[in-house]
């Protein structure tokens, strides 16, 4: 399992491994990047954060790392486990998560409710890299994506396009 340095929010836009990016529809100071580096994929978040009390600003970054085959797995799992009824091969009605080992790493997706803050909460999905916990932690790393970000603002389309390129060998 290859480890990666944290992405640099000041230079990521020029990074040749970026295959796509989207500004978060609910937080315009937050951009999500998708990178393919050799046999690995990174979903990286860059967020320009300003502390409401002190007024100080700084970049906050976070990233999920996985085998690049994890991108087609995410698309396939959403389409065939979450979007289908159980009699069509989807998850049973009372199951809200799915985990699987993909190229030696355990990945997971779960249905998330009440993402966001205040009155702007909505459902979405959590993508987890269970085999890659934070330093000093046992649980895997994860990112939450609202339904609107995934499906109305194009992140799922970016994942699908990238998955197709991975499957046909152009990435």
* Pairing assessment for the beta strands 122-133 and 140-146 based on DSSP bridges: antiparallel
Segment holding 73, helix H or strand E: helix 70-77
User: pLDDT for 56-102, tens place per residue?
Assistant: 999 999 999 999 999 999 999 999 999 999 999 999 999 999 999 99
As a whole number of angstroms, the distance between CA 48 and CA 125 comes to 23
Structure confidence at residue 137 (pLDDT)? 79
As a whole number of angstroms, the distance between CA 87 and CA 159 comes to 26
As a whole number of angstroms, the distance between CA 33 and CA 39 comes to 17
Residue ranges and CATH numbers for the domains of the chain are: 12-167 (2.30.31)
- Asked if 30 contacts 47 with a C-beta cutoff of 8 angstroms, the reply is yes
Instruction: Lowest mean pLDDT of 39-53, 105-119, 149-163, name the range.
Output: 105-119
Structure confidence at residue 138 (pLDDT)? 81
Question: Which pair of tokens denotes residue 151?
Answer: 């499906």
As a whole number of angstroms, the distance between CA 101 and CA 73 comes to 10
CA dihedral 65, 75, 158, 163 (to 10 degrees): 80
- Going edge to edge, which strands form the sheet with 97-102? 97-102, 105-115, 122-133, 140-146
pLDDT of 134 above 90? no
């Amino acid at each position: 399992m290859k480890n990666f340095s944290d992405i640099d929010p000041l230079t990521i836009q020029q990074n040749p491994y970026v295959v796509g990016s989207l500004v978060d529809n609910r937080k315009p100071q937050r951009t999500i990047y998708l990178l393919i580096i050799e046999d690995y994929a990174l979903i990286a978040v860059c967020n320009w954060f300003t502390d409401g009390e002190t007024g100080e600003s700084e970049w906050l970054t976070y990233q999920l790392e996985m085998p690049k085959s994890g991108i087609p797995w995410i698309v396939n799992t959403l389409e065939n486990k979450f979007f289908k009824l159980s009699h069509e091969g989807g998850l049973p009605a009372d199951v809200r998560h799915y985990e699987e080992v993909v190229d030696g790493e355990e990945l997971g997706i779960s249905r998330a409710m009440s993402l966001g803050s205040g009155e702007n909460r909505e459902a979405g999905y959590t993508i987890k890299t269970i085999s890659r916990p934070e330093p000093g932690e046992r649980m895997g790393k994860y990112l939450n994506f609202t339904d609107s970000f995934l499906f109305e603002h194009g992140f799922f389309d970016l994942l699908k396009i990238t998955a197709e390129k991975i499957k046909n060998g152009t990435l």
